[in-house]
Every structure is written in C-alpha cells, then in structure tokens.
Structure 1
Amino acid sequence: MTVRQWWALARPATLPASVVPVAVGAAVAAERGPWSWPLSLVMLVVALLLQIGTNMVNEWADFHRGVDAPDSVGIAGVIVAGHLSPATVWRWAVGTYALAFGLGLGLVAVRGWPLLALGLAGIGAGFLYNAGPRPLSATPWGEALVFAIMGPVEVLASEVAAAGTISPGGWAASVAVGFSVAAILTANNLRDRDKDGARGRRTLAVLLGDRGGARLLAALVAAPFLWLALAAGLGWLPVTVLAAWLAVPVAVAGVRRLMQPGPGRRRAVAVVGRIHLLAGLLLAMGLLLAR
C-alpha cells in the first residue's frame, strides 16, 4: 500500500470529526483544573486511528455489499478502482484497530476501567455502523449512533484521559459536538442520496427526500450553536463557549451552498467538516478562556 492509497482510505475530509471531540474534552478538563496534555495527545492519536480503521472497514464492507461502484459519488474507490484488494484493506483495518487498542490500553493503565468501557463502546459502534448483517450506516439510525459515539462517548473519554473524571460540563459540551458530527454524516448521505436509494440503503436522507434531507442538514448544523446558547444561559457551561458563534457566518455560507442539488454537493463532507472543525475549536477556546 502506498502513502497515497493509505491517505485515500483514511478519508481526511472526515478526520475533523475525531479532532474536535478530543479538543473539547481536553478543554473541559483544563477549564476545571489540572490536566495532562501528553495523555490528551495520546487520546487524539487513538481517536484518529479508530476513525481511520472505521473508514477502512467501511470501504471493505461497502465493496462486499455492492454499495461502491466505479460511478460512486463518495470518497471510496481504491477497491472498486482495482488499486487494492479487499483482503489488503481488511488487514490494514485490523492493524489500525489493533494499534489504537494497544495505545488505548496504555491510557487505561493510567486512568482506569471507565476509559476501557468507553473505548470498547467506540470500537463496537464502529463495527455495528459498517459491518454485521444489517449495518446501521444503511438505516435511519446512522446519525443517532454517530451522535452518541463521537459526541458524548468520545468527548467524555477525552475528558477522562485528560483529567481522570467526568463533569456535568463535559456532558453539556458533548451534546454540541454530537450534533455537529451528525451533520457531517448527513452531508455525506445527502450527497450520496440517489446512489444509496438505488442500492437499497434507507438513510434519513433517502427517506426524507432531497428537500427534507437538506433541511435536516441545516438543522443539525444550527443545533450546536443553539444548544451552546441554551447551556450557557442555564449555567451548564461558561458564557465564553459562545465564542463558537464566531463560526456562524461560515456555517450559514456553507449550508447555503448545499441546500440545492448539484455538483457543489460533491464537497459536502469537506464543507461541513470545516464548519465542525472551526466551531469545535472555538468552543474549546471558549472553555479555556473560562479558566
């Protein structure tokens, strides 16, 4: 496997989905008191490896189910294009998961079994999302699973890695992150709606239709900002988290580009991923400002 092929399998446009939960979890820990930046850095590597492994399993599973074809709109393609065999992709996926698990065990040795439980939940969710007899990625439940795993589970795991405990603020911040990550998946499914429907997949974008799917995307992009305003107003989070609202103009411009079908949707994941990354890093910065 070449570096270019590995990078394609990693699906870099999706990786901000893992950077933000770790950054927010670490910022929640830092806002409360002493925290370990080296352990947060290890947590970031683990989170990225888990997502890359999940992306590789997704490539392998979609090929075997006939979801990916040479005319696929999405990011996939190294198997259907004949660049790599399914067996090679599977071996790299297993190896990536194994490396993440090994590094994760080091974190568990320092922070204890709650981190192990959260990590196993993440690995299990990745398998259920892509593989098994009825992968959740092909059902209306994909957004809910992604919300839970890459929102609360990953943010709270990152807080545990950084400080050893979970706080109410971590829960509140994780909801905003969950909405934002779910928006990335909806952008992906809206882009692939026609292809997915033709292959029997029943994502929310397929069931809601083009207009309904676009409205869902707009709602999920808006939800983190509204949630943070509510959480700050109720005192669940410091008012400085409203720094995330600096990303609103970027979010509005991005969503407007994706509301209508057309060639612009080919970059839907990258567009929403940038919104997610910008708003998430501003949220983390807002938490740090409250120290």
Structure 2
Amino acid sequence: MSQNKPRQQRMAPPMARGPRGGRSGRPGAAAAAVKPATTADWIAGARLRTLPLAVAPVLIGVGAAKVAEGPGVWHPIRSLLCLAVAVLLQIAVNYANDYSDGVRGTDQYRVGPGRLTGSGKAAPRTVLTVALTFFALAAVAGVILVILTQHWWVLLIGAAAIAAAWFYTGGKRPYGYYGLGEVFVFIFFGLVATVGTTYMLSGTVNQESWYGGVIAGLIACAVLMVNNIRDIEPDRQARKRTLAVLLGRVASRIVFCVLLLVPFVILGVLAVFYPLAWFGMFALLAAIPACIITLFGRSPRELVTALQLTSITGLLVGIALGVAYAF
C-alpha cells in the first residue's frame, strides 16, 4: 500500500526538449534550453479558462439574494467583494496546483499545456509565493466582507475553503490524488460560492441559491473531469488517482456528459418559475459539442477545446440564471 502513496520529491532538472517537443536527454542541456517565465507564462499559469467557474456561482448567488430581498435592493460593494474572493481563490488554487504537482514530479508525465514549475521556467519557491499571495488577497477580501456584514462565523468557512484548496494537491496526502477532487469542487465552487454569496448579501439562504449552487457545482465538476480525462495516462504513470483514472476512459466520458447535462434539467424546472432562465438553454450550443468532443475525441488538443466549451457553458448558465433571479 505504501508503494502507491504519492511521494513528495525534489524537482529534478527537466531535460531539454527537441524541436518537436521530445526530450533531448542531453545532460546540462536544460539550463540552456529553458527560458525564464515571461509575463505571458504567468498569465497562462493563472489558467484564465477556469475563471468562469468562479464568476458563475457569484452571479447566481447575487440573483438569488435579489429574490430574497425583493426589488430595489442592491449591494454592489459586497457583490464585488464576493466576486473578488471567488476569483482570487480560483487563481490561488491554480498556482498552488502548479507548485504541488511540479515538486511532486507529477508534471513530468503531463500532455497538456506546460506548467511553470514542471517546465523549469519558474522556481518552485516563486510559484509558491505567488500562490500564497493570491490566497492572502482572497482572505483580505473575505475579511473585509465579514467586517461589513458582521457574519463573523463565516471566517471559519473561508479558512476551510483555503485549506481545502491547498490540500487538493498539496500536503503529504493530497485528496486530489485519491479521486476526491470533484467533491471539493462541487462543495466549494458550487454550493459554498453560490449559497455563501446569497447569505453575505441578504443574510439568509433560499432554495434558489441551493438549486443554483448545484447547477454551478455540477458544471465545475464537469470541467475538472474533462481536464482529468485528458491526463488519464500521465496521471496513472504519476500514481495520481483522479476520479477519471479510477473510472477509466469510457465511464469517465459518460460521467462528464451527465455532469454537464443534468444542470439543464434543473434549469428547465427553474425556468417554469423564472422565465428568463430559458435563455440559459442557449448554452447547450456549447455543452453539446463539448459532450461530443469528449465522447469521441482522442487528442489532448480536442479535450482542451471541450474544457473551454464547458467553461463557457458554466458562464452562460450563470449569467442567465442570475439575471432570471434578479429580474
């Protein structure tokens, strides 16, 4: 059993890559071949394509708060602070994953876009510092929000969210390596982000926020699933047992489609009471191609496209449902 544990290890200097992206295997070539990370590399490291996962639940939560408080009541400052917490935490998670997977050696097997740590473009300590900076910024925005609302107990939820974000791939026993990543994503980037936004704005929680949180959480899980489907073989080699690895190629692709399409069933039910929610069905124009690509695509590039379409789906549904609730 102990042989299957992911081991924390020092980063070995990456071998230089040839003109076709293969490893040259020449000792000492890496230092000359790998250039320091540029501004574009750091922006790419933030993984902007995942930010809709942070924006969508906040939009839904703001709309649900409007349902709770009635017409004419808006909280722009608190809404922006909720958005800042969600976005900063998402970026922090992305950099933290880059650091943890890099020092663990997991990214040696990676087939997707390169990482800052794993590629050797940035020192592990630098990536860790950037991750901690974004965690700190998210915490500051959260503390200001708590001061404004006087809901002091919410600080415990914030601390739990930061801890869960770090231990996803960090620490001695990262739960993301044991098929539990989707659980974290559903709870914190679905339920907590949506319901928490509604509570911080209105001081109450309603069923609209819970339904919206389930929708946002399922789509966020779909994004993680398709990302991990792309990396099934590399993750197996790295002993990273994501849910996609545990389920296998066929079952994980089916589960992805379920995660992505079930929210539209819930959205259809909500549209009976909030007619503007029907506009969210236009997001199927992105969701259905994402399902088709994931079911039949084979190359990493195809699955990256599916990931992007899934993120767009989440944002479109979040906008439609938030507007439907608010107006």
- Partner amino acid, structure 1, of 2:311: G
Unpaired segments ≥5 residues, structure 1: none
Give the counterpart of 1:171 among 182, 185, 210: 210
CA 1:216–1:113 in 2, change beyond 3 Å: closer, same or farther?
same
- Partner amino acid, structure 2, of 1:165: T
Q: In structure 2, how many angstroms separate the alpha carbons of the residues matched to 1:167 and 1:13?
A: 30
Give the counterpart of 1:157 among 189, 196, 215: 196
Give the counterpart of 1:64 among 92, 103, 108: 103
Give the counterpart of 2:83 among 31, 44, 54: 44
- Following superposition, the deviation at residue 3 of structure 1 comes to 2.9
Correspondence for 2:118: 80
Q: In structure 2, how many angstroms separate the alpha carbons of the residues matched to 1:128 and 1:258?
A: 28
Correspondence for 1:30: 66
Correspondence for 2:133: 95
Decide which structure has the larger Cα Rg and report it: 2
Q: In structure 2, how many angstroms separate the alpha carbons of the residues matched to 1:269 and 1:136?
A: 22
Give the counterpart of 1:182 among 200, 221, 232: 221
- Partner amino acid, structure 2, of 1:286: A
Corresponding residue SS for 1:287: helix
| Cα contact 2:290–2:307 (8 A) shared by 1 | no
CA 1:153–1:231 in 2, change beyond 3 Å: closer, same or farther?
same
- Partner amino acid, structure 2, of 1:81: S
Q: In structure 2, how many angstroms separate the alpha carbons of the residues matched to 1:47 and 1:193?
A: 28
Correspondence for 1:210: 249
- Following superposition, the deviation at residue 239 of structure 1 comes to 4.8
Considering fraction of residues, name the structure with more helix: 1
Choose 108-117 or 11-20, whichever is displaced more.
108-117
| Cα contact 1:119–1:157 (8 A) shared by 2 | no
Q: Does residue 265 of the first structure (1) align with residue 326 of the second (2)?
A: no
Percent sequence identity over matched residues? Answer: 32
- Partner amino acid, structure 1, of 2:110: S
CA 1:176–1:266 in 2, change beyond 3 Å: closer, same or farther?
closer
Q: Does residue 275 of the first structure (1) align with residue 313 of the second (2)?
A: yes
- Following superposition, the deviation at residue 86 of structure 1 comes to 0.0
Task: Report the TM-score, using the length of structure 1 for normalisation.
Answer: 0.91
| Cα contact 2:42–2:116 (8 A) shared by 1 | no
| Cα contact 2:57–2:193 (8 A) shared by 1 | yes
| Cα contact 2:116–2:122 (8 A) shared by 1 | yes
Q: In structure 1, how many angstroms separate the alpha carbons of the residues matched to 2:167 and 2:75?
A: 32
- Following superposition, the deviation at residue 164 of structure 1 comes to 2.9
- Following superposition, the deviation at residue 105 of structure 1 comes to 0.6
- Following superposition, the deviation at residue 231 of structure 1 comes to 5.0
Correspondence for 2:183: 144
- Following superposition, the deviation at residue 232 of structure 1 comes to 5.6
| Cα contact 1:107–1:115 (8 A) shared by 2 | no
- Partner amino acid, structure 2, of 1:74: G
| Cα contact 2:279–2:320 (8 A) shared by 1 | yes
Choose 25-34 or 150-159, whichever is displaced more.
25-34
Q: In structure 2, how many angstroms separate the alpha carbons of the residues matched to 1:114 and 1:182?
A: 27
Choose 221-230 or 46-55, whichever is displaced more.
221-230
- Following superposition, the deviation at residue 230 of structure 1 comes to 4.1
Give the counterpart of 1:243 among 279, 301, 313: 279
Correspondence for 1:288: 326
Q: In structure 1, how many angstroms separate the alpha carbons of the residues matched to 2:136 and 2:241?
A: 31
- Partner amino acid, structure 2, of 1:93: A
Unpaired segments ≥5 residues, structure 2: 1-36
- Following superposition, the deviation at residue 252 of structure 1 comes to 0.9
Listed one character per residue, the Cα deviations across residues 157-201 of structure 1 (whole Å, up to 9, x for unaligned) are: 211232232222211211111111111100111111111112112
Listed one character per residue, the Cα deviations across residues 42-98 of structure 1 (whole Å, up to 9, x for unaligned) are: 2111211111111111011001211102x6223442122221100000111111111
Q: In structure 2, how many angstroms separate the alpha carbons of the residues matched to 1:152 and 1:239?
A: 23
CA 1:174–1:266 in 2, change beyond 3 Å: closer, same or farther?
closer
Task: Report the TM-score, using the length of structure 2 for normalisation.
Answer: 0.82
Matched residue count: 285
Q: In structure 1, how many angstroms separate the alpha carbons of the residues matched to 2:285 and 2:127?
A: 39
Choose 237-246 or 101-110, whichever is displaced more.
237-246
